[in-house]
Each structure stands twice: as C-alpha cells, then as structure tokens.
Structure 1
Amino acid sequence: MSYFLTQLANGLSYGLILGLIAVGFVIVFTSTGVLNFAHGSVLLTGAYLVAVLQDPIGFWAAVLVGIAGAALLGVLINAVLVRNLAEANPGTAAILMLGVDILLLTELTRRIGNRVLPIGAPWGADVVTFGGITLPTSRAIAAGLAVVVFGVLWFLFARTGAGVAMRAAAADGDTASLMGIRLTRTGAAGWALAGALAAIAGIFLASFPSPGIAPTLALTAFAAIPAWVLGGFDSVVGAIVGGLIIGVVTALAVGYESDLHFLGRGLGEVVPYAVMILVLLVRPSGLFGRQEAVRV
C-alpha cells in the first residue's frame, strides 16, 4: 500500500509541474490565439540560464535571471513574430512556432552538447518521508510552490484590473479593444507570464530525480500538451486538473510497468496520449473547455 501511495504522491507532484506548463499553453492561446509549440524551448532556455549562472552569481539570483529571461524571450517572440500574424492566420502562426522551437532547440543543443548540466539547487538529492511515503524534496517543494502560483494566478485574473483585461481580451478581443483595452499589452503580458511559468517548471524538472539539464528537457513540455488538451484549450482550471490526471496516470504506469509488461516498454510515455484520446472521444472540447453553441 505504501508503494502505491508513494507513486500516487509522485504523480500528483509531477502533475502539478505539468500543470504549470499547461497553464502557460492556455494563457498564450487565450491571449493571442496561438498554439505555442515553442514552449518547450522557452522552458529549456530558462533552466539553461539557471544552470550556467548558478555558480558565478548563486542559485537564487540565477533563478530570478532564468525566470526573467524566459519571460523576456516570450515577449520577444510575440512582438517580433506573432503579434501581426496570429489573428490573420492562426495556422501559420502555429507552424511558425514549430520553426522557432527548432531554431532555439538547435542553438541550445549546440551550447549544451552531450553534457548534463547540474541545476545547482540547494535541496540536492534530499528526500522527505511521511506516513511511509517517500518523495524527493524537489517534488515536494514544486507541489507547494505550484499551489501558491495557482492561487496567485486566480487572484490576478479574478481581482486585478490587468487580469480582468486579459480575460476580456481572451473572450472578445474586438470588443475589448473598443473598450480601451490594449491587446498588444495583454498579449505581451500573456507571453511573459507563460515564459515565467515554463522556467519555474523547468527548474524542478531538472532537479532530482532528474540528473540535470539536457536538450531532451524541452521534450518534457510536450508531455504537458495532453494535460492542456485534456483540460480544454482555454481553461486554466482544466490545465491544472489535466496536469494532475496525466501526472498520476504516468506515475502509476511507470511504477507498475513490470506488472504490465505485456503492453510493452515505455508505457509511461504512451499512456498520457491514450488518456487524452479517450477523453476527447467523449468530450471533444476537453473536460473544462468551452463548447460553442451552434444554431441549427
């Protein structure tokens, strides 16, 4: 029983990290209408900055630089490449994001090479044990921080003028513009916020039990796509719930893979997409996505 609870706790903590990434997908999509396939490279950029700067300036200062750098990268992508293209042709913007992802990942791979860069986190390989459940300290901290971040996001979107403006722009950009809301500003804010969330998630994904930062870290962001789609393209709550579902399913699939050997190897990599497909067969708009009313 303790083994099951340990896998469940690991799945929930991992799911909260995926939720941070998936919320970034949602914010960009609702603020600018773009499927941000460059999100993984933005995540890797933030984590890479932390890894290369943690020795000369210290871990916590490097974290601030990494988060700010990922946020700035998101703003630049939006300002230079997306702002004038997304509304005119969302499909072209999505393809453009794939190109941006390839370019960024190629450059970061060139810089990292075949090394694995340590993140330099002060919690190291420590673990916490409670009630027979063993959890890496990094995952426990990530879970607590993710809950705090989600609370801050709720307050931002529900209680502040900037958050209300972003919600209005997402709901009806033309009307929001007529009401005096600057769509360029809300779009930039959305991309910056998504980049910051990606960097935070990247720091914990590169911490123990992961050995450090390698180019493959960017692919982890794609593991959050099933969580994003599962919850609904435009729902922050759905992204969080989707992340928890995918995290738990993945952890249980990996933990009990030896008992499910007849399904083949790498079950943990396949299960998230299988769950996503099954849910979409029943609810094409996701668990929390808005369903458009159609007049017949």
Structure 2
Amino acid sequence: MSTAAEIVLNGLALGSVYALVSLGFVIIFKASAVFNFGHGSLLLLGGYLTAVLHEHLGFAAALAVAVIATAAVAAAIERLLLRNTDPHAAHTLTIITIGVDIVLMTDLARRIGGDLLSLGDPWGNGIVEFAGVTVAQSRLASIVAAVIVIGAVFAVFRFTSWGLSLRAAAEDREAAALMGIRLERIRMLAWCLAGALAAIAAVFLTAFPSAGLERTTGHIALAAFPAAVLGGMTSPTGALLGSLLIGVTEALCAGYQTELSALGSGFSDVAPYAVMVLVLMFRPTGLLGTKETVRV
C-alpha cells in the first residue's frame, strides 16, 4: 500500500510540473492560436541560465534572472518572428516555432555538451518519510510551488484587465479588436508568461531524483503537450486536470513496469500519448475543451 501511495504522490508531483508547462502551451494558444513547439527550448534555456548563474548569484537570484530572461526571449520570438506573419495562417506560425526550437535547442545542446548540470536547488537529495511513505523533498516542493504559481496565474486570468482581455480575445479576436483590445500586447504578455512558467518548471524537472539538466531535458516538454491537448487547448483548468492525469499515469506505468512488461519496457514514455489518443477518441475537444461554433 505504501508503494502505491509513493507512486501516486510522485505522479501528482510530476503532474504539477507538467501543469506549469502545459499551461504555457494553453496560454499561447488562447492568445495567438499557435501550437508553440518551441516551448521545450524555452524550458531548456531557463534551466541552463539557472545552472550557470546559481554559483555566482545563489539559487533564488539565479532563478529570478532565468525567469526574466526566458520571458524576454519568448517575447522577442513573438515580436520579431511571429508578429509580422499573417495571424490567420496558424500553420505557418506553428512551423516557425518548430524552427525556433531547432535553433535554440541546437545551440543550448552545444553549450551543455555531455555534462549534467546542477541548478543548485536548496532541496538537494533530501528525503521525507511519513506514514510509511518516502518521497523526495523536491517532489513536495514542486507541488507547493505549482499550487502557488498556478493559483497566481488563475488569479491574473480572473481579476486583471489583461486576463479579461485574453479571455475576450480567445472567444472572438475580431470582436475584441473592435472593442479596443490591443491584441499585439495580449500576445506578447502571453508569450512572456509562458516563458516564465517554463523556466520555473525546469527547476523541478531536473531536481532530485533526476540526475540534473542535460541537453535532452527540453524534450520533456513534449510529455506535457498531450496534457494540454487532453484537457482542451483553450482551457487552463483542463490543462491542469490533464497534467495531473498524465503525471499519475506515467508514474503508475513506470512503477508497475514489470506487470506491464507485455506492453514494452519503455511504455511509461508513450503512456501520455496513449491516454491522449484514448480520451480524444471520445472527447475530440479534450476533457474541458469547447466545441467551435460556426455561424452561417
């Protein structure tokens, strides 16, 4: 029983980190109707900056700089590469993000090489034991941090003029523009926020029991993409629900891989996509996604 509890708790911790990443996917999609496949490279950038700066600035200051810098890079991508492209050509914008991902990922992989970088997080390899359950301190910290950060993001959505404008633009961009909402500003701030969330997520994806930051760490963001699709690309709440479901599923498949050996030893890596496909077969718009209506 304690083993099952540990697996579920680790799955919730992993899902909470996925939620930070998938929320970035959803925010950008709501603001600009773009699937940002460059999100993994932003995550890797935030982690890399934290890793190289923490010895000189300390962990907290290094993370703050990394969050700001990653948000600035995300804003620059939107401003310099995407804004002058036809906003109705979503497929073109999506392809551009793939190109951005290749360029950033290649440069960061060259800088990291074969090293494993530590981000200097304060939890180290600490372990907490309670009621027969053993869990890493970093896992508990990831849950607490995700609750605080995601709660703050939802508060921004609900109580700020930017959040109201974002929701209005997501419903009807043309009507929002006619009402005086500055869509360019909405998109840029959305990219900034998504970049900041990716940098925070990098800390917990590389903390113990993970080995550290490596050049392939950015690919983990691809596991959060099914969570965003699963929840519904227009629903932040759906992204949160989908992330928790994906995290627990992945943890269960990894924890019981012996029993699931018939599905292959690496089934936990493809489990997020399997769950996504199964759900979309019955709910094409995702768990909390809304159907698009067309007036004729």
Q: Which residue of 1 aligns with 2:102?
A: 102
Q: Which residue of 2 aligns with 1:282?
A: 282
* 1:33–1:86 Cα contact (<8 Å) kept: no
Deviation at 1:84, TM superposition (A): 2.4
Q: Which residue of 1 aligns with 2:119?
A: 119
- Counterpart of 2:4 in structure 1: which amino acid? F
| Residue 208 (str. 1) matches residue 214 (str. 2) | no
Give, in whole Å, the separation in 1 of the partners of 2:204 and 2:71. Answer: 17
Q: After superposition, where does 1:17-166 map in structure 2 within 5 Å?
A: 17-85=17-85, 87-166=87-166
Letter in 1 for 2:99: G
Gap runs ≥5 in structure 2: none
Quick check: 1:230 aligned with 2:230? yes
Report the Cα distance in structure 2 between the residues aligned to 1:283 and 1:73, rounded to whole angstroms: 35
Q: Is the 8 A contact 1:53 1:62 kept in 2?
A: yes
Residue 88 of structure 1: CA displacement? 3.2
CA contact (8 A) 1:67 1:200 kept: yes
Task: Provide the TM-score with structure 2 as the length reference.
Answer: 0.98
Given that 1:54 and 1:120 are in contact with CA atoms closer than 8 Å, whether structure 2 keeps it comes out as: yes
Between the aligned partners of 2:135 and 2:196, the Cα distance in structure 1 is 25
Q: Structure 1 residues 86 and 36 mapped into 2: Cα distance closer, same or farther (>3 Å)?
A: farther
CA distance in 2, matches of 1:293, 1:172: 11
Distance, in Å, in 1 between the alignment partners of 2:65 and 2:288 is: 34
Say what the alpha-carbon RMSD is for the aligned residues: 1.2
Provide the rounded CA distance (Å) in 1 between the counterparts of 2:86 and 2:124: 42
Q: Specify the code of the residue in structure 2 equivalent to 1:181.
A: I
Paired with 2:295 and 2:171, the residues of 1 have a C-alpha distance of 20
Q: Which runs of 5+ in 1 are unaligned?
A: none
Amino acid aligned to 1:235:
S
CA contact (8 A) 1:32 1:86 kept: no
Partner secondary structure for residue 289 of structure 1 = coil
Number of aligned residues: 296
User: How far did residue 172 of structure 1 move?
Assistant: 1.4
Encode CA deviations 1:54-76: one digit per residue, 9 max, x unaligned.
01111111000111111111100
* Contact persistence 1:41–1:101 (CA under 8 A): yes
SS in 2 for 1:37: coil
Percent identity over paired residues: 47
Aligned to 1:3: 3
Determine the C-alpha separation between the residues in 2 that align with 1:135 and 1:75: 37
Alpha-carbon distance in 2 for matches of 1:130, 1:214: 32
Give the structure-1-normalised TM-score.
0.98
Give 1:274's aligned amino acid. A
Give the structure 2 partner of residue 13 of structure 1. 13
SS of the residue 1:117 aligns to: coil
**Partner AA of 2:44 in structure 1:** L
The one-character-per-residue Cα deviations of 1:87-126 (angstroms, maximum 9, x if unpaired) are 1311011111111100000000110011111111111011
1:266-281 equivalences in 2 (<5 Å): 266-281=266-281
Tell me which amino acid in the other structure corresponds to 1:128.
Answer: V
